Amino acid sequence: MIKLHHLNKSRSKRIIWLLEELSVEYQVVPYQRDSKTRRAPDSLKAINPLGKSPVIQDGELVLSESGAIVDYLVSRYGTKSLAPAIHTPDHARYIQWLHFAEGTAAYPLITRYLLGVDDNLSCFLGGFAREQMKEVLTFVNNELVNKDYLIEGQFTGADVLNSFVFEKISEAGGLSKFPNIVSYLQRILRRPAALKAELLEREFDQEES
């Protein structure tokens, strides 16, 4: 059985969603952030010394990093349903979108969040991140013209992985000028597995509160 170490208010909800899409047996081990420091508890460091989530255990394998986890789970359990056929242009684009989520897209989002905590969005880095985010959203919005998913004609693990960035921007009201992303996000978040992950995350986040 796959074991998912899940930290509340983190990106690991996507892995719950993916596991539901894959219909594989799994167990969630929930952890709660410190209400003041927002840091993970020391108990998570017993699994990942960096205290980061998500982390999965699959037999003897312990694996962290969201992109690596999605790639591994889809490659092992969902190659026919959640990824294009290997050695095809669509599979290459699928891999590109996996890296896009945790690289190009995540950087301006995380930068602006951290600067916002210190009320310092007016600095040079804040402005740079704002422009980067605008470029990212414009790019994705254009990519989704007449497409239901990032890979035309197929929902994949890349859609699950990229959802976090767009959800967070949507929560802050930042998608008003990007209608294709809005409709895309609504579409994928209506999937039964996504709705199940949302419910489960709420349950896990309350266990130790």
| Higher pLDDT pick, 204 / 61 | 61
Q: What is the mean pLDDT of residues 39-68?
A: 92
Shared domain check, 72 and 27? yes
Shared domain check, 102 and 169? yes
Q: From residue 113, how far is each of 48, 49, 50, 130 by CA, in Å?
A: 24, 24, 20, 11
| Higher pLDDT pick, 203 / 150 | 150
Q: Where in the sequence is the domain holding 146, given as residue range(s)?
A: 89-191
Shared domain check, 114 and 59? no
Tell whether the model's pLDDT for residue 10 goes beyond 50. yes
Identify the CATH number of the domain in which residue 22 sits: 3.40.30.10
Read off the pLDDT of residues 161-199 as tens digits, 9 standing for 90 and up.
999 889 988 887 889 999 999 999 999 999 999 999 999
DSSP lists the bridge partners of residue 5 as 29, 55
Using 50, 70 and 90 to split pLDDT, how confident is the model at 206? Answer: low
Cα gap 24→107, rounded to integer Å? 31
